[in-house]
Structure 1
């Protein structure tokens, strides 16, 4: 299972790299420096939003389901708080192009969702915890 999470993390990092490079070039061509900043900020949001979930699952892959679920929920809450703070700080700033930012975030996050789906769909996950026994002999 750790291999699947490693593969998913690698895929997310490649996606963030592609969003960064392509978004920066297209953003710069469309909106100049503001478009470049919009794409770079979007790549950072994509990395935090998508990479943190996969990293949490990778780090807790050998833990119990309860520990992994706790890490996932904790990561999600932290991620939401960071995004709210970041969006609050960026709201009144004008150094970045909001259109470029929006498009690059959508491409990055939707791409990450598809990568996560592909990774999870290919996993073989047992329905019980290994070593839990089958209840025989009680």
Structure 2
């Protein structure tokens, strides 16, 4: 498989890998802290909170990576926005459904769930910032600049300007 010509692809792949690592660490820490705070109910609440955040934050990066596969196609822009917006709408609907299903469950400690969810979102934002600061991407990317006819790149048969 040839590398993607879209400059965001390596950034998004790196974000997904780092986010997976941070999510695993948060799951372990959250489970331990949740257990110490509220027993097994707290442990499961923390694990579910971290998992929900990881899945929903990963959908955005994955949808952009999938949409980037159409780069160079005439329908790239509508396909890209269709996939990304569809992913966001899907996330919104599924998030509401999950919250409605988890509301009032006896094995969920709401405070632990909320703290785990917020900690996961903040950790994901921190990963995004660190990856963006460390990646070396040109300020102008994914474009082809036109040639300069006056510099000798004329194609109309006329000699270059002096």
Q: TM exceeds 0.5? A: yes
The structure in which a higher percent of residues are helix is 1
* Residue 59 (str. 1) matches residue 66 (str. 2): yes
- Alignment partner, residue 124 of structure 1: 137
Deviation at 1:31, TM superposition (A): 0.4
Deviation at 1:108, TM superposition (A): 0.2
- Relative contact order higher in (CA < 8 Å, ≥ 6 apart): 1
CA–CA distance in structure 2, aligned partners of residues 80 and 97 of structure 1: 23
Matches within 5 A, 1:1-138: 1=7, 2-64=9-71, 66=77, 67-121=79-133, 122=135, 124=137, 127=140, 129-130=142-143, 134=146
Preserved contact between residue 48 and residue 79 of structure 1 (Cα < 8 Å): no
Structure (1 or 2) with the larger CA radius of gyration: 2
Q: Calculate the TM-score normalised by the size of structure 2.
A: 0.73
Which runs of no fewer than 5 residues in structure 1 stay unpaired?
none
CA–CA distance in structure 1, aligned partners of residues 89 and 138 of structure 2: 25
CA–CA distance in structure 2, aligned partners of residues 102 and 126 of structure 1: 38
**Pairs aligned (count):** 136
Task: Please give the per-residue CA displacement for 1:91-126, whole angstroms capped at 9, x wherever unaligned.
Answer: 121211111111110010111122223334535266
Preserved contact between residue 45 and residue 113 of structure 2 (Cα < 8 Å): yes
Deviation at 1:38, TM superposition (A): 0.5
Preserved contact between residue 49 and residue 79 of structure 1 (Cα < 8 Å): yes
CA–CA distance in structure 2, aligned partners of residues 5 and 128 of structure 1: 15
